[in-house]
Structure formats: C-alpha cells, structure tokens
Structure 1
Amino acid sequence: MSSIYNFKQVNNALACAGQPTEAQLKQLADENYQVVINLAMPTGKFALPGEETIVAGLGIEYIQIPVVFDDPQLSELLAFINYMDQHAGKKILLHCAANYRASAFTGLYLFNKGELDTMQMQSFIEDVWQPDDIWQQFIDESVQYLQEVKSGN
C-alpha cells in the first residue's frame, strides 16, 4: 500500500495516508482492511468521486468526518477517537487528501491511547508534514484537552 500518497503504516491494524485511488482502495480490500475513515471534504479538489460507494462495494465500512483544513475542530477529533474505539481490533485506513489531517489525528489518537508521548506524537506528525500555525495550535489545544480529560479536570 506504500503506493498511496504519503502512506504511513502505524501498526498491523492501522495506517494513515493521502487520498487513495480506486485501484488502491481495491488493494485495501485484498489486504483485509475493514474500515476506511476519510477526513477530507467529500467534494474537495483531491476527493475521489463516489468513494463511499466504491468502498462499500468492496465490503469495507466507510466513515466520513469532513475536516475543513483551515479550521480543524476538537469535536471532529473526538468523533474520530470515538469511531476508532468502536472499531478497535479492526484493520483501519485513515486518510485525507495528503495525510496532513490524517497524520495529526492519528498522532493525537495514539497520544490519547498512551502509545505516544507528546514528543513522539509531534515527531510522528512531522514525519509526514510540518504543521502550520493553525494545525499546531489545534494539536496543542487537543493535547491539553485530552490530558485534562484523563486527569479528571
């Protein structure tokens, strides 16, 4: 699957990437992916027309959480974390247009699960891209929120 733009294998059950093509989606089915979560806008410049129908036709569950690139929201991250928890144990591909949103959400998810500390999470994200000011603020505020929730504050 490394042919998908900015593909990053996280572990045996999770990968994040940029927008897959229809042929690459078919490869996901061959590799037993069970869930595709798309953070890109459904009609964006890089969107695959009919992606939801294509994915469903392959027997893969499709979830869309449209995240406006210049305005990511904590509610979208929390919805993503919820979907990830609901689908624990399944093989999941998280994608967006270029793996910028997806890598940030994946890093924050892994941080929330205690699999990465803040420095490891930042490095995970920066392995794909250098977040701009909007995204760095979103990441920082999300970390703070997730830490407060864990500590019960």
Structure 2
Amino acid sequence: MTSHKDATSLKLSDNSVMTDTANDTGSSNNAIGDSALDNGVDLAAVIDPYFRPDANTIVCGALDDTKVVALAKAGIELVINLQPDDELSFDESAAVERAGMQYEHLPINGAADLKQLKILAFDNILRQHHGKKIAVHCGSGNRVGAAIALRAGWLRGRKMDTAMERGRSHGLTKLEDEVYKRLLVPR
C-alpha cells in the first residue's frame, strides 16, 4: 500500500475495495511504482492525503479542479464522493463528468452516518462498478476507511483484525474507535 505523498511504491493487497475475495491477510510481495499504474501521473504529488490500498483504488481527501484533472489523466474511471454537500467547495459532479469520469455521491456525515443502510449503499456502488479504476474520497480519507472496515466486517464477514486493517489501509484514523465498537455488534 502506498500512503501519503512521500511513498513511491505500491504494495498490492487483496483488492478489498473492489472484490474482497482474496486472502484475508492482504499480504503480497509485489511492488509496482504508482506512476506506472497511473499513465505516468504522480498522483501522490498532487493529492494529499493519498492512500493506495490496491492497484485499482485511490483514497484521498477533498478534491478540487486540479485534483479531478489529475485523476482523469491517471485513468480513473469513477469518483465516489462521501462528503456531504455542505463540505463541498465547488461543483464536483460537473467537474468529474467534464473530465470524462463517472460520479457517485453517497454523503456520510461523520460517525452518525456509519449505519448499515449507508454501508449497503456503498457496497452496491462498488459492486456496480466492479473492476473499474476508482477514486474514493471524503475530507481526509477517514470516512472512506470507516466504510471499508464496516463493509469488510458486516457484509463480507471478515474478522475484526482484518476489517480494521482494511479500514486503516484506506485511510481510517479518527473514527477507528467508533468503527471497532460498531463491528462488535453483529449485523
């Protein structure tokens, strides 16, 4: 996994955002430069925070026009926005579509919105776009990581440690305790 701007290689994981069918350890010894995967675009230089949990998934914070253009040049096919409208500073949907990518908006407004129905809707979006190169974002990547961890635990039946690690690889930080508590409750 590549995390943050100073990292330059990618550790391929279990493709947890897209399929969740590989092994639970997420371990692989293959390292590939990110720019090789991204049409030569160094996304880590443009996007901060930047997480790369697998070859087809970019997790980042809030976007702007420059970041949207960079994602499109890197071959991203779909942008999934988890930010509520009041956090957006520009017409992201229009910018993404102008850049030739598809756009999905599923607002998650902090811990209060980390409910099973939202996670089911998130899972539905990921399943509809299976196999595409995607960028998933919120303000910092934290809500993305939370949604991934809850999806892994609630919908994929992953063990607590595995679900939490998947969340962390996708940006989970401040919501970690909340996600842990929610995973303790069977769904």
Are the counterparts in 1 of residues 61 and 137 from structure 2 also a CA contact under 8 Å?
Answer: yes
Q: Aligned pair in 2 of structure 1 residues 7, 80: CA closer, same or farther (>3 Å)?
A: same
Gaps of 5+ in 2: 1-42
Are the counterparts in 1 of residues 160 and 183 from structure 2 also a CA contact under 8 Å?
Answer: no
Moved more, 72-81 or 124-133: 124-133
Q: Which structure is higher in helix share?
A: 1
Residues 35-50 of structure 1 correspond to what in structure 2 (within 5 A)?
35-44=78-87, 47-50=88-91
The answer to which structure, 1 or 2, has the higher relative contact order (CA under 8 A, 6+ apart) is 1
Residues 91-102 of structure 1 correspond to what in structure 2 (within 5 A)?
91-102=133-144
Number of the residue aligned with 2:100: 59
Number of the residue aligned with 2:132: 90
Are the counterparts in 2 of residues 110 and 121 from structure 1 also a CA contact under 8 Å?
Answer: yes
Query: What CA distance in whole angstroms lies between the structure 2 residues aligned with 1:48 and 1:139?
Result: 33
Query: Structure 1 residue runs of 4+, over 6 Å off?
Result: none
Q: How many pairs are equivalent?
A: 140
Q: Aligned pair in 2 of structure 1 residues 57, 79: CA closer, same or farther (>3 Å)?
A: same
Gaps of 5+ in 1: 146-153
1:43-86 CA deviation, whole Å, 9 max, x = no partner? Answer: 22xx2311111001111111100112141221111001001001
1:91-150 CA deviation, whole Å, 9 max, x = no partner? Answer: 111100111111111233455457x64213213434641426544433444xx32xxxxx
Query: What CA distance in whole angstroms lies between the structure 2 residues aligned with 1:90 and 1:140?
Result: 31
Q: Aligned pair in 2 of structure 1 residues 32, 40: CA closer, same or farther (>3 Å)?
A: same
Q: Aligned pair in 2 of structure 1 residues 32, 140: CA closer, same or farther (>3 Å)?
A: farther
Residues 123-138 of structure 1 correspond to what in structure 2 (within 5 A)?
123-126=165-168, 128=171, 129-131=173-175, 133-138=177-182
Decide which of 96, 113, 120 is 2:162's aligned counterpart.
120
With structure 1 as the length reference, what TM-score do the two structures score?
Answer: 0.79
CA RMSD in angstroms comes to 2.2
Query: What CA distance in whole angstroms lies between the structure 1 residues aligned with 2:71 and 2:177?
Result: 33
**What's the % identity of the aligned pairs?**
21
